[in-house]
Amino acid sequence: MKPPEGMFDESVIYVTRQGAQVQVDGGRIVVWDVDGDEGELASFPIEKLDTINVFGGVNFSTPFVARANEHGIVLNYFTQHGKYRGSFVPEKNTIAEVRRAQYDLSRDEELAIAQQMIAGKIRNARTLLSRKGVRGTDVLKDLGVRAESDTTKDDLRGTEGEAAERYFHLLDETLVDGWTFEKRTKRPPEDHINSLLSLTYVFMKNEVLSALRQYNLDPFLGVLHADRHGRPSLALDLQEEFRPIFCDAFVVRLVNRGVIDHEDFRKDNRLSDDAFKIYLEKFENYMNEELTHPHFEYTVTRRKAVRQQAILLRKAITDELEMYHSLTFTK
């Protein structure tokens, strides 16, 4: 059976049908409409999957969970409107040698990796603004240079914070008439742009989580974000370089092209059910769009580019690379 358009690309599934059940049938994962009359909604070869994202009232059969564990499939749980709740991570996603190298990193080694991530984030922020014709970004260039020379994590956090403030002050200039952005707000987002940014950061975080787990890194042991119970600090670290050039650029695209409008939001600034489905489809398409890798100069999807960064991070941690290189775009 051909999967519904937009539901399945490469190795990631999004299951949003309320009341659906995910089961296993031989070598295939099957999504069933248990409460309705449609029966089988879609089926997928189990060996091609590595992540299943489920939203709201979606159920799993016990045999499916067992097979997911055997095949290394990560299950991410969200509320119906996209708030992340937790994950099921298979036992096979651990390798002692890699984890030991990660745990043995010195503070100087952690700082060196973090410097590249933050410098990359600042460079990408400047690039996004430049692509949209925004002027006055020279200060970001200076802050990017400062990030690479900061001698403590606190100094680096200070540089990142200053760069973020300068960048978000200019982000409004990338938006078409009818949309405004004054400042970054969260928990809860205070306007529609902030709501889209927060939602996109959640989904990018899970892209990064999946990549880190695929390459056997501990996502909870960060190099810059402080350790906190339940917080995937390393995923938040690696996500930094993708925020402007992938996440923010995606949000700007959605509103500037009229894919999402103000009428698509509820009073609490969350997307309506129909708009959320459109958002998921567009995000999946976006992650599978191809681009020319700025360093390797070959064609990759955004999703593959994220996973390549997890590989580079692992190699830097295990001393297969002399240093970590962030994914940075200069034009």
Which distant-in-sequence residues (6+ apart) come within 8 Å of 161 by Cβ?
A: none
Provide the token pair at 110. 């952690």
Please report, for residues 53, 82, 120, 131, 322, the alpha-carbon distance to residue 206 in angstroms, rounded to integers and kept in the order given.
Answer: 9, 12, 20, 27, 27
Query: With 0-12 CB in 10 A as exposed, 13-18 as middle and 19+ as buried, what is 262?
Result: exposed
Residue positions forming the annotated binding site for Mn(2+): 160, 225, 240
Element (DSSP H or E) covering residue 202: helix 192-214
Side-chain-side CA neighbours of residue 23 (13 Å): 14
Phi-psi region of 189 (alpha: psi -120 to 50; beta: other; left: phi over 0): beta
The whole-angstrom separation of Cα 224 and Cα 33 is 44
Instruction: Give the residue numbers of the binding site.
Output: 160, 225, 240
Closest listed residue to residue 89, CA positions, set 80, 98, 77:
77
- CA neighbours closer than 13 Å in the CB half-sphere of residue 293: 17
Question: How many whole angstroms separate alpha carbon 166 and alpha carbon 168?
Answer: 6
Strand, coil or helix: 99? helix
Measured over the CA atoms of residue 191, residue 249, residue 279 and residue 81, the dihedral's sign is negative
